[in-house]
Every structure is written in C-alpha cells, then in structure tokens.
Amino acid sequence: MTQNLSQRTLFTLVMAGLLATGVPTRAETASDTISGLGTYLAARLAQDLRDTGAANVLLKAALERDPANPKLLEQAFISEVMGGSWPKAVAYAARAVTADPANHLAHFVLGVDAFKSGRLGEAEKHFAEPGNTPIAVMARAWVLNARKDSKAANALLDGIADPNWIDFFRRYQSAQLADVNGDSGAALKVYENLFRADPATINVALSYARHASHGGDGKLATDILAKHAAAARSPHPFVEAANEALARGDKLALTTQTNSEGLAGVFYGFSQAINGQGGVDLALIYCQLALQLKPDDQLSQTQLAAIYEQLKQYDNAIAIYNRLPSDSPLHFDASLRAGLNLNALDKPAEAKAALKAIAEPVLTDAMNAGKLRASLHSDVEVLAGLSLHEKGARVLTLQRLLGRAGYADGGNDGNFGNATRDAVAKLQKDAGLPDSGQLDASTRKALEDKIAAQPVPAAKPLDAGKLIDVYQTLGNMLRGRKEFAEAAEYYSKALALIPNPGKDNWDQFYSRAVCFERLNDWPKAEADFLKAMELNPDEPLILNYLGYSWVDRNEHVDKALELIKKAVSLKPEDGYYVDSLGWAYFRMGKYEDAVQQLEHAVELKAEDPVINDHLGDAYWRAGRKLEAQFQWSTSLISKPEAADIPKLRDKMKNGLPAEPAAASAANAATVKPADPAAKDKPKQP
C-alpha cells in the first residue's frame, strides 16, 4: 500500500487544491498554505489519481480544520478502507454513520468489525441498515447463522428475489451455509443443481468437488472436476491442485468451514461481480472487507492484486502477489503477473530478472526465501490482539501457523479454545517466554522465527507447459520494448520445448517471425509466418502481417492481397487490417481503391500516425494534394515514430516524387504492420 507520501507529491496536491480555490500560496510548509477547501480538493485529486496515501494525509488535515464535515468524513473513511488501514477505517466509519446514518458502506465496515469481534447483535444491526439489498441480506444471513439461527438465515436467503447472477449466487450461498451447518444432503442438492446449470463456474465446481470428497466420494469429486475442465476454457490452478490431491487419495476440505469464511465469500463474490461490471472502486472495498474476515484467502488476495493492476497501482499489486506462499497453486501465475507489473513500472531489468528466476530453480530458491519471510510476517501480524475464545478466520490462521511450527493442537476448527492456548503456551515455553497463551508481540515473533528457521523447500523444476509460458512472457515483454534479438531467443526456447507443434502453438511462431522481420532477417521471418499460418490458417494477425510484409516488399502481391482481404473479412472493424488492404492497393498502383480503404481505416483509427500517413500518400497519387498535406500534418501531430518525422516533413514540403512507382515506393513511408504484442496477459490467478 502506498502509505509514505513524498514531500513533492504532497506539495503538488496542496498547490493544486489552493489554486483551485484562488487562495494565495507560500511554499514554506504545507500547514502554512492549506485551506480547508483547498485541502479537500487536493485530497479528491489524490483519490482520482488513486494515490490513497496522499489522499489519507490530506483528508486528515482537512478534518482537523472541519471535524464535523460529513463529506470529509465520508471521503476519509472510503480512502482508509480502500487502502486497507482497518483501525482507521473503523474509526472513520463510526464517525461517518453518526454524521450520516444512511452511509451503507460505513455500516458494512462496522458490521464486519463487530462480526470479527463476536458482537453478533451489533453486526446484524449494521448489516440491516442498507435494507433489502442482496449483499446486505446475505451478510445478515451469515450473522444469523453464527447466532445459531440457521432457519432464519435460510429464510433470508430464500427471500432474495433478484434474478440472473444474484439468484445463482444466492443459491450458492445456501449450499455454503448448509456445509457449515453439517447439512450434507441440503448442500449436495443445491450443488448438483448449480453445477448442472453451469459446470464452467470455478467456485461451484470446486465447492461441489470438495463437498463430495469431504463426504468420502472421491470418484464423484474427480468426475465433477473432469466435467468442469471440459466446460472451462482453461484449467484453474486450484482445480489442478485438487485433482493432484484426489489422485494421491487425499480428502479435500470444504470450501467454507466457518461463518466468518462464509461472510468473506459474500464480499468476495460481489467484488468479482461488480468489478466485472466496471465498478472498480466498490470492488476494491468489498475485496478489502473479504480479506478482513479471511486474511489468508488466496483468491481474495489475487482479486485485490488484479484490481490494483486495473488502477495502475502496480507496486501494490506486486506486494500482494509476493505474499502468496511458494506452495500456493496460484504462485506461478502470480509470479508472472508480478514480473509484468515490474515491467509496467518501467523497471525492465528487474522484470526480466524476476521472470527468469521463475524458470531457473536456483534463482527461484533464493527469491522464494525472501518472499516466504515477507509472507510469513504478514500472516503472523494478522494475529495481533487475538485472544482466548475468539472464533473465525484469524484463529484458523493461527492454528495453521502453529501446525507449521510443529505445535499442532488437533483443532483447525477456527475456535481459540484450550487446545490452541496450550499449543501457544508450549511455543512460549520453548522460546523462553512466559507461557501465558496470549499472542503478544514477543510470542508472534517467536512463532515467526520458529517457522522461518525451517528449511525452505527447494523449488520444483517447472514442467514444459509452465516453462513455455515463462519464455513466451519474456519474449512478449522484450518484444514490446523492441529488444527483438533477445525476444527471439526466448521464443526459440519456448519452441524447443514443443516437439510436435499444434494449432495452439501458432503464436510462438508468429511472435518469433515478428522479431525476425524487425531484425531484417526476412527468410527466417517468412518461414515462421508460413508455419504459423499452416497451424492456424484463419488467424487474422498472421494473415495481415504476412500479407502486409509481402506487399511492402513487392513480393507475391496477388497472394498478399488475398491474405489481407481474408483478415479484413474476419475482423472488418479493425483499422489496422483495413489499412493493410488500402496500402496493398497503393503499392499495386490502384490509388482510388487505396483511398477508399484508407479513408475507412482512418475512420476506425483516427489518431494513428501511420494510417494518416498512408492516406496522405494515397491522396497525393490520386491527385488530391491539398488533402494529402492535411493527412501528413495530422500524422505529424499524432506522435509518429522518430524515424518517420523527417520523411513526413519532407513530404509536407515537397510531396511525393513523380512516378515511376519505384521512385514513389522508395519515398513513401516504409512502416511495419501493427504489432499488438506487448500487452501480455498470462492466466489470471
């Protein structure tokens, strides 16, 4: 989380706020210059920039001047909860509901805080404030279930009448509720119906399989996962891990074992749904609430990291990805994402090192040691303030960590009872501490040190599929940075691991072909393009790039035109493909046809410098010289490649040379076809 606010950032935002209000400024100190309204506006600017650290500092300053301002209270509360600062978020939420009793988000925060502390009556009241909204009703259901009133909890869920995904999620929650209550028959019936309706949904498939395995039916669990794999586009790491466990004869645990985990699942589910509909800020808040209830939930952690990526807070995303333990099924994909986020932060050397470390076990072992310690420290610090008789996700975390340290209490039930206290006391005694059974700072440190002293498990060598993903990701990253020679090496490493390339491998050949073409090694590029097209003859990227390259080289022009026309027919609204078709007509001397296609390409991609340049050339050859000058000037202000700027200026001054075509072709902009590589998206955990 970005908590440390630089003086430059603070000063910039304060000045922005003051200038917006017309307040005279001095540069000595922030306190000398901040006005209440100016600070508020600066804080809102920081929020718009998604700089939660700056927003928190500025809102605190504004509240000190105007502590009863409800708008400031609301913004401060939202900023703290989005930033994951829980104690401050709770404090601001309490003030916010006093100022505005209808502040639903503040009630959710206070409800979660009360639930965590066992104040169930208070939690129910807070969750009741938003009324009959589906998320509030589902939250209340879990509170009622925690209060041993499962009948009322189920009645609340049954009363939700919203259609579509809300109804599907409501029924899923009822199955989870039945699992927690030990009502296996009720849970099984709901899972069967949900899975029959949509076998591709990962949450349903996993929960159903876990339910079956937990009940002793490993065959049913295996069949469920097989049907899910057939329906889903790609296997989820948790599904792969579950299949491996079933193959070993292990019994899978239920997805939801406590009421706290159930309530966390409500907020996680709504975070997923709302984020998919564009509500990224609210999705972030709900995800933070889920993690307060289930701090070590890896799905919520990766959801939070993905939201940070959307907000371009790449450093925050990296921090979350690095928290995942090395034995997590999500660790590989998270490591890829962390490397790409380093690249997005314009740290290519660090990004390359991080990605290479995934593929090279020696480097991975060293990197994992640091990651494990950081992740361990985060897990242990979650236990601060945990006390005897507490229940929920934090207790489960404690019990898991005690087991890792060699002090298994035989529980893992989420209940801080005598067995867990005795295990803590044994840890304290071994560490030379008073055996009080309390989780004070010294005890937490002893627990962390005990686990950290254990040997770090050596990283397992990656299988060929994962190595291919790493090499492909490295190649794409380097290609996006125009480091074509090294990118081609990584694509070659990926291809060396594929003994019998199939349709799914066209991308490796295509990507390497692009690199060879940019390196002016056309024989190798052409061979790879042709191989890619052989594997996937209907891929527009291949058709366009190969066709465009042939046209630009005046080779196989008729065949090139055929390929480009096919690409356009497959993606008629893609401006780059339409541009290729227009450029093919230009190189063939069919200037009127070229103008027609290139005008359409400009309509589709109005600010692309290459397409505007091409249209200018076509206008000139078609005798429309004034329009040509306009298109070249448009290209010049559209951020063209540096090498193209002198050519554009020369054409604006002198136009194209007279025919023959060979002369015009030499003076026309020689550009490369659009390469949409670089925006690499490995599987999202």
pLDDT band at 5 (very low <50, low <70, confident <90, very high): very low
Q: How far from 589 is each of 219, 621, 662, CA to CA, in Å?
A: 67, 9, 11
Question: CA-CA distance, 115 to 290, in Å (whole number)?
Answer: 12
pLDDT band at 119 (very low <50, low <70, confident <90, very high): very high
| Residue 600 identity (one-letter amino acid) | H
Is-contact 333 317, C-beta < 8 A?
no
Greater model confidence, 642 or 323: 642
Question: CA-CA distance, 435 to 454, in Å (whole number)?
Answer: 23
Quote the tokens at residue 617.
């050339």
Question: CA-CA distance, 651 to 534, in Å (whole number)?
Answer: 40
> Which CATH number, 1.25.40.10, 3.30.2030.30, 1.20.1090.10, 3.90.1150.10, labels domain 1-102?
1.25.40.10
Return the minimum-mean-pLDDT range out of 77-91, 156-170, 491-505.
77-91
Contacts of 609 (CB under 8 A, 6+ apart): 635, 636, 638, 639, 640, 641, 644
The candidate with the shortest Cα–Cα distance to 206, out of 168, 254, 174, 244, is: 254
Is-contact 197 168, C-beta < 8 A?
yes
Question: For residue 609, what pLDDT is reported?
Answer: 95
Contacts 24+ apart (CB under 8 A), 410-414: 413/257, 414/257, 414/258, 414/260
The candidate with the shortest Cα–Cα distance to 41, out of 72, 69, 64, is: 72
pLDDT band at 566 (very low <50, low <70, confident <90, very high): very high
Instruction: Tell me which range, 84-88, 427-431, 489-493, is most confidently predicted by mean pLDDT.
Output: 489-493
Helical packing angle, 418-430 and 393-404, nearest 10°: 40
Average pLDDT, the chain: 84
Greater model confidence, 239 or 55: 239
Which SS3 state, helix, strand or coil, does residue 236 take?
Answer: coil
Question: For residue 578, what pLDDT is reported?
Answer: 96
Residue 67, preceding bond cis, omega within 30 degrees?
Answer: no
User: Tokens 């000139």 identify what position?
Assistant: 620
The candidate with the shortest Cα–Cα distance to 265, out of 386, 138, 378, 371, is: 138
How many C-beta neighbours within 10 Å does residue 480 have?
A: 17
Strand partners, 415: 391
Question: CA-CA distance, 495 to 489, in Å (whole number)?
Answer: 10
Is-contact 191 175, C-beta < 8 A?
yes
Question: CA-CA distance, 668 to 659, in Å (whole number)?
Answer: 12
For the chain, give the percent of residues with pLDDT over 70: 81
Is-contact 646 640, C-beta < 8 A?
no
- The pLDDT of 298-323, averaged and rounded, is 92
Contacts of 517 (CB under 8 A, 6+ apart): 525, 545, 549, 672
Interior CA angle at 487 toward 483 and 491, to 5°? 170
Domain ranges of the chain: 1-102, 314-382, 394-452
Q: For residue 51, count CB atoms less than 10 angstroms from its CB and return exposed for 0-12, middle for 13-18, buried for 19 or more.
A: buried
Q: How far from 623 is each of 428, 537, 619, CA to CA, in Å?
A: 89, 38, 6
Q: Counting every residue, how long is the chain?
A: 685
Strand partners, 391: 415
Return the minimum-mean-pLDDT range out of 57-61, 305-309, 657-661.
57-61
Instruction: Give residue-wise pLDDT tens across range 457-471.
Output: 555 677 888 999 999
Question: For residue 351, what pLDDT is reported?
Answer: 92
Question: CA-CA distance, 365 to 368, in Å (whole number)?
Answer: 5
Return the minimum-mean-pLDDT range out of 153-162, 277-286, 589-598.
277-286
- The pLDDT of 244-259, averaged and rounded, is 94
Question: CA-CA distance, 641 to 305, in Å (whole number)?
Answer: 34
DSSP codes, 495-563: HHT-SS--GGGHHHHHHHHHHHHHTT-HHHHHHHHHHHHHH-TT-HHHHHHHHHHHHHTTSSHHHHHHH
Q: How far from 242 is each of 191, 208, 222, 277, 465, CA to CA, in Å?
A: 17, 12, 9, 30, 19
Question: For residue 634, what pLDDT is reported?
Answer: 96
- The pLDDT of 326-346, averaged and rounded, is 92
Return the minimum-mean-pLDDT range out of 19-23, 86-90, 567-571, 631-635.
19-23
Question: For residue 44, what pLDDT is reported?
Answer: 52
Greater model confidence, 124 or 440: 124
| Residue 320 identity (one-letter amino acid) | I
Contacts of 377 (CB under 8 A, 6+ apart): 448
- The pLDDT of 533-557, averaged and rounded, is 93
In the predicted structure, residue 572 carries a pLDDT above the cut 70:
yes
User: Tokens 């909860």 identify what position?
Assistant: 81
Q: How far from 407 is each of 379, 411, 434, 642, CA to CA, in Å?
A: 17, 11, 17, 64
Which SS3 state, helix, strand or coil, does residue 293 take?
Answer: helix
Is-contact 493 471, C-beta < 8 A?
yes
In the predicted structure, residue 368 carries a pLDDT above the cut 70:
no
User: Tokens 């590029």 identify what position?
Assistant: 525
Quote the tokens at residue 648.
């554009």
Q: For residue 7, count CB atoms less than 10 angstroms from its CB and return exposed for 0-12, middle for 13-18, buried for 19 or more.
A: exposed
Contacts 24+ apart (CB under 8 A), 221-230: 221/246, 221/252, 222/246, 224/195, 227/195, 227/199, 228/195, 228/199, 228/200, 228/202, 230/199
pLDDT band at 54 (very low <50, low <70, confident <90, very high): low
pLDDT band at 382 (very low <50, low <70, confident <90, very high): confident
CA dihedral 370, 375, 378, 379 (to 10 degrees): -140
Quote the tokens at residue 603.
């309509």
In the predicted structure, residue 344 carries a pLDDT above the cut 70:
yes
In the predicted structure, residue 341 carries a pLDDT above the cut 90:
yes
Question: For residue 23, what pLDDT is reported?
Answer: 36
Greater model confidence, 236 or 164: 236
Question: For residue 26, what pLDDT is reported?
Answer: 35
Question: CA-CA distance, 568 to 571, in Å (whole number)?
Answer: 5
pLDDT band at 52 (very low <50, low <70, confident <90, very high): low
How many C-beta neighbours within 10 Å does residue 149 have?
A: 14
Instruction: Tell me which range, 191-205, 369-383, 421-435, is most confidently predicted by mean pLDDT.
Output: 191-205
